Structure 1
Amino acid sequence: MLRTLIITVGLLAALPAAAQDCPDETQSGMNKCAADAYKQADAALNATYKQIIERLKDDADTTKSLVAAQRAWIAYRDAECDFITSGAAGGTVRRMLQTMCLEQVTSRRVDELKPLLECEEGDLSCPVPAP
């Protein structure tokens, strides 16, 4: 129990401000706040990903590479969040912690992909063509 509490406190300290500022401090309220934050991060990821796919529409090989990378990233994200929250296994807080982890990892992925939309023409180190 103490181990779970310590892990939970450690995770909570690293939470995004939106999750920390949830107006409903019940478990179901915090679950909803976490889910809302994750939905926003997921929407940002989907929008960024679609923009990259659109720019790659004439390059089937690079599109295939991006799809493979994204599928591998999804497997990583899910496994990482399962691992990170394993200390809360069996507890009511785990769902919230997993959702918060998903939001954090997804937001980092958006931060990784967005620069690909700002590549300069002729930059061979960037797989996404300039608009």
Structure 2
Amino acid sequence: MKHFLICLLLIVAASKGFAQTQGEMNRKANEAYREADKKLNEVYQLIQKDYAANKKFIENMKVAQRLWIQFRDAQVEMMFPEPAKSYGSMFPVCKANYLTELTTQRMESLRIWINGLPPGETCTGSVGAKQ
């Protein structure tokens, strides 16, 4: 019986570490999205700095980024076309997670202007054209 009580106490204590309120889950999901957005902005700013001499590229990148934001918002609307309340209490978490995913994908696609393309790639376009 003593072992049973000890095991039960350990299980209860361990489950406390995993228990979260909806508010905590919403907060964590929003923090993850804000962090992904911050990293995207850092990558964007670094590209702007590195390619500052290439005015045409910078102009086109700004247009592309504005359009990507419209695309991102349209993707979210497509994913969740109904009013928020129709998706239940997990909607804020789901929306924030989807925004995080889309933002991370965008950040990774922009990184090629920082990291370059694989050796031997012949279709480099503006990648590396900092002048």
TM-score by length of 2: 0.71
Answer with 1 or 2: which has the greater Rg. Answer: 2
Q: 1:114 and 2:111 equivalent? A: yes
Deviations 1:45-71 (A, max 9, x none): 011111111122112111010000001
TM-score by length of 1: 0.71
Of 98, 101, 120, 2:98 maps to: 101
CA RMSD of aligned residues (A): 2.4
* 2:128 corresponding residue in structure 1: 129
* 1:35 corresponding residue in structure 2: 30
User: How much has 1:130 moved relative to structure 2?
Assistant: 6.6
Q: Which runs of 5+ in 1 are unaligned?
A: 1-21
- Does structure 1 retain, via aligned residues, the 8 Å contact 2:112–2:127? no
Work out the CA distance in 2 between the residues paired with 1:33 and 1:87.
24
The equivalences for 1:15-30 within 5 A come to: 23=18, 25-30=20-25
Work out the CA distance in 2 between the residues paired with 1:113 and 1:23.
35
Work out the CA distance in 2 between the residues paired with 1:33 and 1:24.
13
Percent of residue pairs identical:
27
Return the structure number with greater relative CO, CA threshold 8 A, min gap 6.
2
- Does structure 2 retain, via aligned residues, the 8 Å contact 1:62–1:127? yes
Tell me which amino acid in the other structure corresponds to 1:69: A
Q: Which runs of 5+ in 2 are unaligned?
A: 1-16
